C-alpha cells in the first residue's frame, strides 16, 4: 500500500490538530504501524482511511488511529529519582499542608499509559501514609489512548514487567493469576481513577493538584503546544505544587511560569 505525500500530510495535520502529536518526521512510523491495521480492516488506501477518520462523527476511527500511532512505552520504577523526591520532599510537604484540612492527596499522572506510573506512585503513597488510614490517597491517571487505559485498569502484568519492583511491593500489591501474569490487588486498583483525557483539551478536573506527572509525553508536542499545555497545568496546580517531566526532557524558562527546582522537577510558587 502506497502512502502519497498528500495522504501523509492529511494524517499529520489531523493528528497534530487534534492531539498535538507531531508526526511530520515520522513517515516510516506511520506506514509501519498503520499499513497492517488498514489491511486487516479492509481499507484499499490510506486516502480512504483518512477520509473516514476526518468524517467520522463518533470519533471512533480517530480513537483507533490514536491507539495505533501513539508510543506507549513505560515501565515500573521508571525515573526512580522522582519517586524518591516524592517520598522525601513532597509527601512531607503535603502532610504538613493538608493535615488539618481534608487530608486529601491530589496527584495526577497525566500520560499514564499502561498504568505502571500511577501504580508505582500509589505504592509510594501507601507506604508513606500507612500509619494514618484517614488520608484520601486516590489519584487520577489519564491518557489519550483507550487501548492503554484498558490495560492499565486491568492491572495485569507479566512477571518480567513487575520484576523491577521491590519484593515487598510485589508480595503486598500483586496476586499471581496464572503461570505468567500477576494482577494488582483491587485495594490498590481502587485508589486510581483512570480516565481518557486529551492533553490538548481544557482541564475540567475539579480542585488543584499537589503534583502532576507529565513525563515522556511532551516530546511529541511543538513549542507552542507545550507552552499552552504547561499554562493550563499551572492553572490547575496548587501553590507550592510540583510538576515532573521526563528526565530527558526540558522546558524553556520563558515557556512556563513554573519555577525550576532541579532537572525535570518544577514547582509553582
Ligand atoms: C511514552 S508514554 C509515557 C508513559 C509514562 N508517563 C512514562 O513516563 O513512563 C506517552 C503516553 O502519552 C500519551 N499521549 C500522547 N499524546 C497525548 C495527548 N495529546 N493527551 C494525552 N495523552 C497523550 C500516549 O498515549 C502514551 O501513552
- pLDDT of amino acid 58: 86
The domains of the chain are located at: 5-69, 80-267
- pLDDT of amino acid 220: 87
Report the nearest atom of ligand 1 relative to the CA of 73: 1
Q: What is the mean pLDDT of residues 8-20?
A: 95
Q: What is the mean pLDDT of residues 18-35?
A: 95
Cβ distance 267 to 242 under 8 Å? yes
Distance of CA 193 to the CA centre of its chain: 12
User: Residue 94's closest CA among 128, 59, 145?
Assistant: 128
How do residues 70-103 score in pLDDT, each as one tens digit?
999 999 999 999 999 999 999 999 999 999 999 9
Third-level CATH fold of 80-267:
Rossmann fold (3.40.50)
Considering the four listed CATH numbers 3.40.50.10860, 3.40.50.970, 1.10.155.10, 3.40.920.10, the one that applies to the domain covering 5-69 is: 1.10.155.10
Q: What are the strands, taking DSSP E only, across the chain?
A: 107-109, 139-143, 156-158, 174-176, 181-184, 192-196, 209-214, 237-245, 259-262, 265-267
Which residues, including other chains, have CB under 8 Å from residue 21's CB and lie 6 or more apart? 15, 69, 70, 220, 221
Residue 74 alpha carbon to ligand 1 centre in Å: 9
Residue with C-alpha cell 489531523? 14
How do residues 145-188 score in pLDDT, each as one tens digit?
999 999 999 999 999 999 999 999 999 999 999 999 999 999 99
Q: Is the CB of 264 under 6 A from ligand 1?
A: no
As a whole number of angstroms, the distance between CA 260 and CA 243 comes to 10
Return mean pLDDT, the chain. 96
- pLDDT of amino acid 13: 95
Q: Using the predicted structure, report yes or no on whether residue 120 has a pLDDT greater than 90.
A: yes
Q: Is the CB of 215 under 6 A from ligand 1?
A: yes
Q: Is the CB of 86 under 6 A from ligand 1?
A: no
- Cα Rg of the chain, angstroms: 20
The pTM (predicted TM-score) of the whole model is 0.96
Residue 137's alpha-carbon distances to 50, 73, 126, 142, in angstroms, are 42, 26, 8, 16
Report the nearest atom of ligand 1 relative to the CA of 109: 6
Q: Using the predicted structure, report yes or no on whether residue 59 has a pLDDT greater than 90.
A: no
As a whole number of angstroms, the distance between CA 143 and CA 113 comes to 6
Q: What is the mean pLDDT of residues 126-143?
A: 96
Confidence of residue 131 (pLDDT cuts 50, 70, 90): very high
Locate 51 and state its grid cell.
477520509
Q: What is the mean pLDDT of residues 2-31?
A: 95
Q: Is the CB of 198 under 6 A from ligand 1?
A: yes
Confidence of residue 237 (pLDDT cuts 50, 70, 90): very high
Amino acid at each position: 500500500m502506497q502512502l502519497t505525500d498528500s495522504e501523509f500530510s492529511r494524517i499529520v495535520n489531523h493528528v497534530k490538530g487534534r492531539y498535538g502529536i507531531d508526526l511530520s518526521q515520522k513517515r516510516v512510523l506511520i506506514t509501519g504501524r498503520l499499513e497492517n491495521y488498514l489491511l486487516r480492516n479492509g481499507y484499499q488506501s490510506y486516502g480512504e482511511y483518512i477520509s473516514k477518520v476526518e468524517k467520522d462523527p463518533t470519533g471512533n476511527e480517530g480513537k483507533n488511529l490514536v491507539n495505533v500511532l501513539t508510543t506507549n512505552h513505560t515501565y515500573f520504577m521508571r525515573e526512580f529519582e522522582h519517586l524518591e523526591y516524592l517520598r522525601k520532599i513532597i509527601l512531607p510537604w503535603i502532610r504538613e499542608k493538608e493535615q488539618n484540612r481534608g487530608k486529601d492527596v491530589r496527584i495526577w499522572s497525566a500520560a499514564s499509559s499502561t498504568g505502571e506510573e500511577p501504580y508505582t506512585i500509589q505504592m509510594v503513597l501507601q507506604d508513606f501514609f500507612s500509619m494514618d488510614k484517614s488520608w484520601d490517597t486516590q489519584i487520577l491517571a489519564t491518557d489519550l489512548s483507550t487501548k492503554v487505559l484498558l490495560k492499565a485498569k486491568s492491572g495485569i502484568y507479566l512477571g518480567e514487567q513487575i520484576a523491577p519492583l521491590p519484593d515487598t511491593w510485589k508480595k503486598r500489591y500483586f496476586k499471581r493469576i496464572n503461570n505468567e501474569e500477576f494482577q494488582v490487588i483491587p485495594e490498590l486498583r481502587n485508589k486510581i481513577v483512570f480516565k481518557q483525557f486529551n492533553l490538548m483539551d481544557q482541564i475540567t478536573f475539579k480542585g488543584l493538584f499537589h503534583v502532576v506527572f507529565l513525563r515522556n509525553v511532551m516530546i511529541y508536542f511543538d513549542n507552542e503546544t507545550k507552552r499552552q499545555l504547561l499554562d493550563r497545568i499551572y492553572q490547575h496546580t496548587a501553590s507550592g505544587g510540583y510538576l515532573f517531566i521526563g528526565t530527558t526532557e526540558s522546558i524553556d524558562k520563558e515557556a512556563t511560569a513554573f519555577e525550576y527546582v532541579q532537572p525535570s522537577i518544577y514547582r509553582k510558587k
